[in-house]
């Protein structure tokens, strides 16, 4: 399939998902022009704020391919990803991303993620979400164990 055909699939998923009661977002993970997985926004249906189209497509692709590394794959998403989804795309090591709507288009209909980007620029003590370091020395035990583990899988 061409990139336009794959993008049309992501767009059609987003339109159909609205009709099915979900959010207006769809995504496709493809490799060599073939669809590996698809995903739609199911935040309200699943009562899960992480159930975004891109995350769902990435999760399914990883299950199908038996890996957490989606190098060699591309993602087609009906809208420029939110910060969480963009992070997931980077973590999954997808080779390329194509998107239809922009984040400005999303903001215009009430899906505005600008506040998250602004919050990320602040030090933890200045963020709206109150946070503080707690039991740092005890928490380091897991990092020490990981560092010494000879058979760890880097990711």
User: Which of 4, 34, 46, 54 does the annotation list as catalytic?
Assistant: 54
pLDDT tens digit sequence for 91-109: 999 999 999 999 999 999 9
Distance CA 120, CA 134 (A): 20
By the 10 Å C-beta count (0-12 exposed, 13-18 middle, 19+ buried), 28 is classed as buried
4 is catalytic: no
Residue 132, pLDDT > 90, answer: no
pTM (predicted TM-score): 0.90
CB contact at 8 A, 6 and 99: no
Q: Do residues 39 and 17 touch, judged by C-beta distance below 8 A?
A: no
Residue pair 77/7 in contact by the 8 Å Cβ criterion: no
């Amino acid at each position: 399939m061409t990139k336009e055909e794959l993008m049309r699939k992501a767009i059609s998923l987003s339109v159909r998902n609205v009709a099915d009661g979900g959010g207006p977002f769809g995504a496709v993970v493809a490799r060599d022009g073939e669809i590996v997985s698809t995903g739609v926004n199911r935040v309200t249906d699943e009562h899960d704020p992480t159930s975004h189209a891109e995350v769902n497509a990435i999760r399914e692709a990883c299950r199908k391919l038996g890996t957490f590394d989606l190098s060699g794959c591309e993602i087609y998403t009906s809208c420029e990803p939110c910060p969480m989804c963009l992070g997931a795309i980077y973590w999954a090591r997808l080779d390329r991303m194509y998107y239809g709507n922009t984040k400005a288009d999303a903001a215009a209909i009430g899906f505005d993620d600008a506040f998250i980007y602004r919050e990320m620029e602040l030090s933890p003590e200045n963020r709206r979400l109150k946070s503080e370091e707690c039991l740092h020395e005890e928490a380091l035990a897991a990092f020490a164990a990981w560092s010494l583990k000879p058979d760890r899988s880097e990711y």
